[in-house]
Structure 1
Amino acid sequence: MYEIRQYRQGDSLKYINWKSTLQRQDIYVNIGSQPIVKNVLVTILITDDFNENDIAYDYFHSLCHKMLNQEIDFDIIFQNITMDHYVIYHINCYDNYKDVLYKMLSYKIPSHQRYSLSALNYQYGCLYTATSKGIEEERLGGYYG
């Protein structure tokens, strides 16, 4: 959700709230709060290259750290190579994150593992995948404000 106010000279056009603008016949912009994000899923793409994996983990950790600082709960998905399915861990605090990160680092995660999330499509609004090239964002069928 956003707070809105009337447009002021110098406001960025990308923040225009078109629905309110059309309803009120004056230009309104979104301000103040962050959009509501529900059910964010985060994962990492592991490769056979240790240097690429270090970079991917840096991106992964930075993203998780940023969301925790903004008090955004999220889920982490990964697969232990000895399991025949993935696991999802809910993250809502730093201690919880550290426990899951320890599990991720101690398990053997399959290389080049991308997740088929069709079964989870409406439970999650967004999937972030950390790679050696940065963070990939995929919008899913669930609510994403």
Structure 2
Amino acid sequence: MKKNLLILMMLVGALTAQAKDYTYLTFETTDEAKASVDVSSLPVTINLDSSTLTIGSQSFSLANLSKMYFSTSDETSATGISEVMKADLDEATEIYDLQGHKVSKNQMRRGVFVIKTKQGTFKLNVK
């Protein structure tokens, strides 16, 4: 157990050194459930006892912890909402309203639209 604890602490230390470009530390359990912790809210210390790892408000059983890694987005977000840059909208190849009608950028008023770009397809909520 001490060997596993030492390896885990070394892993956390190594991952912390690489975290500057990532905003979330994501944990995956053996049942493939994921939990993400915002890196800016990480405490200075990580609590680790013989069977539990606690970081911020998240606690994980070491026996069920499959992996942990840094990511650029919250992988547990159920909404799929992300920030859209003006450049993404400028590169839109097609825009549709929720009824499936093709619209132009000038016709976009309040509502939700489906935007197709070279990078992919996403929904945009115009307020």
Per the normalisation by structure 2, the TM-score is 0.27
Name the one with the larger helix percent: 1
Q: Higher relative CO (CA 8 A, sep ≥ 6), structure 1 or 2? A: 1
Per the normalisation by structure 1, the TM-score is 0.25
Name the one with the larger strand percent: 2
Q: Which has the larger radius of gyration?
A: 2
